C-alpha cells in the first residue's frame, strides 16, 4: 500500500508547493490579473479575446490555401468560365492578375466539379506541365511531363470523395477529398513559339467519365484579352476572408485529417451546418487576425530565418519549398507548418 500511496502523496506535495510558489511568478509575467487564484472579470475578458485572436490567426494561416484557390475559381467564374463547362486559356499579360503567372508561358485552368461523377482530362503528347489540386490545394495528381504520362499524353481521371466505382484500365487516376477541383496546365513555348503553345492548350479535352465513349469536351475559351483577377487579394486582410472560407466549409465535405482544424474554426464561429454570424466583438477579432495572419505569412515567404532556405551556402538564392520531396509538407516530425506557410504565401 505504501508503494502506491507515497508517489501519490509526493505528487500531491509537488502540486501543492507549486500552487504556493507559481502564482507570484506568473502574476509578474502575465497580463491577466488574478485574485486568490481566480481571474478578475477584466482578466477573463482579455484572456478570451487573446485566445480567440490566437486561434483565429492559426486558423487563418492554415486555411489560407483554401481561400486562395477559391480566388482562382472566382476569377474563372467572373470571366464567364462556368464549372465543368469551360476552360480558360491565356497567354498571360497585364490583364491577368494571378499569383506566379509569367508572360512567356500560356496557361490553362478550369474549375471541375466531381461531386456527381469523375472528370477525364485528356492530354495529347507534348510539352505540358499540369496538375490537379483539391479545394484545399492538396495535391491530387500531376499531368504531362512531371506526371505519369511523362509528356507522352494520356487520360487522367479525377474521382470525387464519394465515388465508389471501379477505375477502368487506361486512366491515370487520382481521388479528390473535395468536390471542387482545380485543373491547371501550362504549355511550354518550345523554340519561343508562344502561339503554338497557346494552340496546344486548345488540344486538351476535358469531359465527364460517363461520356467517354462519345466525349463532348468542355469548351476552351481564349482569355488572353479578358480582364481576370484570380487572386484572393480583395479578401485576405478583412472579414471577407472568413465569409469566403465559411462558404467553402458549408459546400465541401469535411476532410478527416483536418478534423482538429475544423474544431479550431468552430471556436471562431465557422462550423459546417451552422450560420456564420459573428457579433461586433468577434468580427473585430477576425479582421485583426486576417491582417496579422496575412502579414505573418508574408514574413514566412519573404523574410524567413530558416537556415535551410538557402540553396547554396555561399549565395542568397532561396528555396520556395522547404520540404521539396513531398506535396503535403510531411516530415518525420509531422507537418512542416512553416514550409507550408511559405509555399502558399508565395505560390498560391
Please determine, for residue 301, whether its predicted confidence score (pLDDT) is greater than 90: yes
Mean pLDDT of 245-252: 98
Q: Which domains does the chain have, with CATH numbers?
A: 2-44 (no CATH), 80-226 (2.60.40.1610), 304-348 (no CATH)
Per-residue pLDDT of 117-138, as tens digits, reads 999 999 999 999 999 999 999 9
Residue 27's pLDDT is 43
Per-residue pLDDT of 148-189, as tens digits, reads 999 999 999 999 999 999 898 999 999 999 999 999 999 999
Please determine, for residue 26, whether its predicted confidence score (pLDDT) is greater than 70: no
pLDDT band at 328 (very low <50, low <70, confident <90, very high): confident
| DSSP string computed for 259-311 | HHHHHHHHHTT--TTS-----HHHHHHHHHHHHHHHHHHHHHHHS---GGGBS
Listed range (27-41, 97-111, 229-243, 264-278) with the worst mean pLDDT: 27-41
Cell of 95: 490583364
Coil, helix or strand for 91? coil
The rounded percent of the chain whose pLDDT value lies above 70 is 92
Residue 18's pLDDT is 42
Cell of 99: 499569383
Residue 12's pLDDT is 36
- Report the distance separating Cα 69 and Cα 137, nearest Å: 7
- Report the distance separating Cα 105 and Cα 158, nearest Å: 25
| DSSP string computed for 217-238 | PPEEEE-TTS-EE-S-TTTTTS
331, β-bridge pairs: 334
Please determine, for residue 25, whether its predicted confidence score (pLDDT) is greater than 70: no
pTM, rounded to two decimals: 0.88
Residue 28's pLDDT is 57
CA distances from residue 39 to 32, 34, 228 in whole angstroms, order as listed: 7, 4, 52
Count Cβ atoms below 10 Å from residue 319 Cβ, excluding itself: 16
Residue 13's pLDDT is 35
Instruction: For residue 165, give the nearest of 199, 97, 118, 215 by alpha carbon.
Output: 118
When the pLDDT of each residue in the chain is averaged and rounded to a whole number, the result is: 90
Amino acid at each position: 500500500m505504501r508503494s502506491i500511496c507515497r508517489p501519490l502523496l509526493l505528487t500531491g506535495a509537488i502540486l501543492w508547493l507549486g500552487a504556493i510558489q507559481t502564482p507570484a511568478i506568473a502574476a509578474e509575467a502575465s497580463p491577466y490579473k488574478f485574485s486568490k487564484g481566480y481571474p478578475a472579470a477584466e482578466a477573463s475578458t482579455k484572456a478570451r479575446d487573446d485566445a480567440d485572436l490566437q486561434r483565429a490567426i492559426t486558423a487563418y494561416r492554415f486555411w489560407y490555401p483554401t481561400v486562395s484557390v477559391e480566388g482562382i475559381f472566382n476569377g474563372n467564374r467572373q470571366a464567364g468560365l462556368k464549372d465543368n463547362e469551360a476552360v480558360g486559356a491565356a497567354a498571360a499579360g497585364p490583364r491577368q492578375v494571378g499569383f506566379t503567372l509569367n508572360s512567356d508561358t500560356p496557361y490553362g485552368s478550369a474549375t471541375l466539379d466531381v461531386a456527381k461523377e469523375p472528370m477525364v482530362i485528356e492530354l495529347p503528347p507534348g510539352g505540358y506541365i499540369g496538375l490537379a489540386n483539391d479545394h484545399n490545394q492538396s495535391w491530387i495528381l500531376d499531368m504531362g511531363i512531371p506526371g505519369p504520362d511523362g509528356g507522352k499524353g494520356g487520360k487522367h481521371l479525377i474521382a470525387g470523395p464519394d465515388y465508389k466505382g471501379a477505375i477502368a484500365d487506361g486512366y491515370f487516376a487520382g481521388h479528390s477529398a473535395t468536390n471542387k477541383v482545380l485543373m491547371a496546365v501550362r504549355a511550354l513555348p518550345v523554340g519561343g513559339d508562344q502561339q503554338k503553345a497557346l494552340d496546344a492548350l486548345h488540344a486538351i479535352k476535358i469531359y465527364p467519365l460517363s461520356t467517354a465513349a462519345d466525349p463532348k469536351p468542355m469548351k476552351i475559351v481564349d482569355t488572353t484579352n479578358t480582364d481576370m483577377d484570380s487572386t484572393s487579394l480583395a479578401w485576405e486582410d478583412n472579414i471577407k476572408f472568413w465569409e469566403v472560407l465559411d462558404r467553402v466549409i458549408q459546400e465541401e465535405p469535411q476532410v478527416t485529417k483536418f478534423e482538429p482544424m475544423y474544431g479550431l474554426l468552430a471556436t471562431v464561429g465557422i462550423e459546417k451546418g451552422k450560420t456564420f454570424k459573428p457579433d461586433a466583438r468577434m468580427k473585430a477579432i477576425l479582421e485583426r487576425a486576417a491582417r496579422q495572419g496575412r502579414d505573418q505569412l508574408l514574413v514566412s515567404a519573404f523574410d524567413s530565418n530558416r537556415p535551410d532556405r538557402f540553396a547554396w551556402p555561399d549565395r542568397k538564392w532561396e528555396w520556395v519549398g522547404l520540404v521539396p520531396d513531398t506535396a503535403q509538407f510531411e516530415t518525420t516530425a509531422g507537418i512542416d507548418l512553416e514550409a507550408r506557410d511559405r509555399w502558399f504565401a508565395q505560390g498560391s
